[in-house]
């Protein structure tokens, strides 16, 4: 999910052209065992020829200083901290510092950034959810700090026993008011979305909402709809976010802070993807695939999945390429996740529906 030069370019998903190239190559080369297999994978060919659209201005964020991080006050002693790929926030309260998350890509720079703006100690740590890419550096915080998370986060962390993600010492089920000094955070759980335990964190005084891995301001979501475990819940989280009267949105990822409009724009992208996936399900006929692979049902289904996903992608990308960053990079993967959710969660089965 990185835009930094240290990360490799993302690979482009197989498209019709690369699949046809793969088929032609496979037909022209005699069977030669496993040694030839890496040469024939369509993803490898696609990656070699991948070119992506320029990043649109709306996706660009502030320049990251040479020290490797940017720390800025949003308002009233609430700060955001980013390395250009991951984001977190911290709140100076007069009675200590509340930190939210601990991305390992920022690591010890978290402590350096906080020291730039205050000498107050870190007294409270909030976990948005249990994923290591967001809290995998939480071990750098003082051991005596109060660690707060949803009750499911504690359960999930107890299962993995990661010393870099110490267990929460205070948990909640539905909501929690965290008042420290003269500052307030409201923590809410509205059901599974990106992960089973992902929470909404709202600072009413600053009108800032943090919700990790749901909205990616200026960009399409990360592949497979942010690798979310509950696609219907993740889609619904857009609506839940807009219930808060926030002005500034912190998504946990990528190049800049967000606004209410960013949430609305991604919701529009999701509605467009949903509509186009439904249309693709209705339009793709798997009959030729059964004829091509009469004794291989997995091959039939793979061909059908790829065809529907590509059709939904072709219907979606033109409207979003240039409007959201990486629309041509991850829409194929996002269309696949949407299609599978429509098929499995919502019962939109198309030609594989109920037989008479």
Among candidates 70, 74, 97, which has minimal Cα distance to 207? Answer: 74
Radius of gyration of the chain (CA): 23
Do 3 and 55 form a contact (C-beta atoms < 8 A)? yes
pLDDT for 21 equals 33
- The rounded Cα 114 to chain-centroid distance in angstroms is 26
pLDDT for 356 equals 67
Do 199 and 129 form a contact (C-beta atoms < 8 A)? yes
How do strand 87-92 and strand 97-100 relate by DSSP bridges? Answer: antiparallel
- The residue-averaged pLDDT of 322-349 equals 96
- The residue-averaged pLDDT of 297-311 equals 95
DSSP secondary structure string for all residues of 226-276: HH-S-HHHHHHHHHHHHTS--SEEE-SBSSS-B-HHHHHHHHHHHHHHHHH
Among candidates 343, 355, 338, which has minimal Cα distance to 301? Answer: 343
- pTM of model > 0.75: yes
Give the helix/strand (H/E) hosting 183. strand 183-188
How do strand 248-250 and strand 122-126 relate by DSSP bridges? Answer: unpaired
Strand pairing partners for 126? 100, 148
pLDDT for 351 equals 81
Q: Which residue has the higher pLDDT, 12 or 153?
A: 153
User: Does residue 64 surpass a pLDDT of 90?
Assistant: yes
User: Does residue 254 surpass a pLDDT of 50?
Assistant: yes
Q: Which residues of 74-86 are buried (b: 16+ CB within 10 A; e: fewer)?
A: beebbbbbbbbbb
Between the alpha carbon of residue 202 and those of residues 32, 46, 199, the distances in Å are: 59, 42, 10
Strand pairing partners for 184? 179
Q: How confident is the model at residue 10 (pLDDT cuts 50, 70, 90)?
A: very low
pLDDT for 55 equals 94
Give the torsion sign (CA, 209, 199, 116, 132).
Answer: negative
d(CA 23, CA 20): 5
First to last CA, the chain: 45
CB atoms within 10 A of CB 27: 7
Percent pLDDT > 70 in the chain is 85
User: Does residue 286 surpass a pLDDT of 70?
Assistant: yes
Supply the mean pLDDT for the chain: 88
DSSP annotation of 321 reads B
Which range, of 7-16, 143-152, 299-308, 309-318, averages the lowest pLDDT?
Answer: 7-16
- The residue-averaged pLDDT of 197-211 equals 98
């Amino acid at each position: 999910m990185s835009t930094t030069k240290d990360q490799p370019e993302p690979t482009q998903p197989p498209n019709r052209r690369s699949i046809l190239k793969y088929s032609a190559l496979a037909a022209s080369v005699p069977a030669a065992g496993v040694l030839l297999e890496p040469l024939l994978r369509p993803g490898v060919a696609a990656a070699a020829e991948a070119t992506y659209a320029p990043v649109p201005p709306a996706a660009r964020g502030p320049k990251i200083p040479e020290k490797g991080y940017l720390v800025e006050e949003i308002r009233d002693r609430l700060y955001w901290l980013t390395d250009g790929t991951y984001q977190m926030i911290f709140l100076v309260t007069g009675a200590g510092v509340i930190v939210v998350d601990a991305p390992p890509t920022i690591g010890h720079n978290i402590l350096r950034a906080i020291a730039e703006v205050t000498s107050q100690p870190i007294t409270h740590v909030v976990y948005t959810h249990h994923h290591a890419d967001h809290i995998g550096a939480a071990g750098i915080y003082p051991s005596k700090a109060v660690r707060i998370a949803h009750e499911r986060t504690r359960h999930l962390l107890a299962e993995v026993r990661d010393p870099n993600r110490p267990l929460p010492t205070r948990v909640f089920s539905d909501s929690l008011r965290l008042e420290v000094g003269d500052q307030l955070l409201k923590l809410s759980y509205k059901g599974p979305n990106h992960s089973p335990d992902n929470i909404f964190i709202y600072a009413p005084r600053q009108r800032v909402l943090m919700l990790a891995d749901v909205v990616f301001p200026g960009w399409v979501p990360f592949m497979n709809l942010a690798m979310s475990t509950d696609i219907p819940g993740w889609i619904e989280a857009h609506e839940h976010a807009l219930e808060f009267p926030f002005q500034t949105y912190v998504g946990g990822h990528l190049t800049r802070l967000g606004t209410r409009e960013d949430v609305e724009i991604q919701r529009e992208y999701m509605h467009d993807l949903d509509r186009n996936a439904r249309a693709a399900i209705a339009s793709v006929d798997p009959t030729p695939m059964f004829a091509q692979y009469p004794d291989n049902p997995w091959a039939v289904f793979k061909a059908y999945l790829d065809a529907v996903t590509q059709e939904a992608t072709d219907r979606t990308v033109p409207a979003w390429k240039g409007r959201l960053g990486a629309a041509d990079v991850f829409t194929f993967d996002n269309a696949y996740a949407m299609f599978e959710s429509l098929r499995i969660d919502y019962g939109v089965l198309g030609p594989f529906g109920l037989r008479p």
